[in-house]
Amino acid sequence: MKLLEDRIIKDGKVGEGNVLKVDSFVNHQIDVDFMNEVGKEFFRLFGDEKIDKILTIEASGIGIACIVAQYFHVPVVFAKKTKTNNIYADVYTSKVESYTHGTTYDIVVSKDFLKEGENVLIIDDFLAKGSALLSLMSLIKSAGANIVGAGIVIEKAYQKGGEIVRDMGVRVESLAKIKSMSVENGVEFC
């Protein structure tokens, strides 16, 4: 998606430790009008699929997923990073390794909101090593629901996540695929 690549070049910042900072428009401040263009693009890509629900993970996936969901007219469910007192019912749970933060955490989804046979599209801001995506897929499988595919805003294609998930037969559509990046040379797209 040219518009996104241009925006990453303009406003993204490459930091030490393999970090692409897009927090001025994706994951701290959210450019909502821009995200509508992202939503339209995901609808162009997945609009012909039967989709009952969009699944994402807190926190930075939520805003994007909600904007995207408007084009599909389906609810968003977001996996929560810890089990809170507000979830009474049983939950599906899975583990995520965060390489950015150097931590491992559980994500949970209430069994009320992922049901057998539902067709679920995953939406997230980043795909790198794939831990969050695999974990969301695991929640969907636990529920006996179907994984329609994953819509990713930015994929670090030089890492293995995308390959692993595509090799499992899951459709992954990334709107910007980064071939390489460095503080010195900036971002190069596939």
Chain positions contacting a copy of itself, by CB under 8 A? 15, 17, 19, 21, 23-25, 27-33, 35-36, 58-59, 62-63, 65-67, 69-70, 73-78, 80-81, 84-88, 100-102, 109-110, 112-113
Query: From the CB of 157, what's the least distance to a copy of itself, in Å?
Result: 20
- Choose between 169 and 186: whose C-beta lies nearer to a copy of itself: 186
HSE, side-chain direction, 13 A CA sphere, residue 32: 5
- Choose between 75 and 166: whose C-beta lies nearer to a copy of itself: 75
- Choose between 50 and 166: whose C-beta lies nearer to a copy of itself: 50
**Rounded Cα–Cα distance for residues 25 and 34 (Å):** 8
Nearest residue to 25 (alpha-carbon basis) of 11, 38, 46, 6: 11
Cα–Cα–Cα angle for 161, 79, 85, rounded to 5 degrees: 145
Query: From the CB of 166, what's the least distance to a copy of itself, in Å?
Result: 26
CA dist list (Å): 129 to 18, 29, 51, 102: 12, 24, 26, 13
- Choose between 104 and 163: whose C-beta lies nearer to a copy of itself: 104
Nearest residue to 55 (alpha-carbon basis) of 150, 106, 132, 122: 122
Counting beta carbons within 10 angstroms of the beta carbon of residue 109, is it exposed (0 to 12), middle (13 to 18) or buried (19 or more)?
buried
- Choose between 24 and 146: whose C-beta lies nearer to a copy of itself: 24
Query: From the CB of 63, what's the least distance to a copy of itself, in Å?
Result: 4
Query: From the CB of 167, what's the least distance to a copy of itself, in Å?
Result: 28
Query: From the CB of 171, what's the least distance to a copy of itself, in Å?
Result: 22
**b/e map of 71-100 (b: 16 or more CB within 10 Å)?**
bbebebbbbbeeeeeebeeebbbbebeeee
Query: From the CB of 84, what's the least distance to a copy of itself, in Å?
Result: 6
The token pair that represents 101 in the structure block: 């933060």
- Choose between 65 and 165: whose C-beta lies nearer to a copy of itself: 65
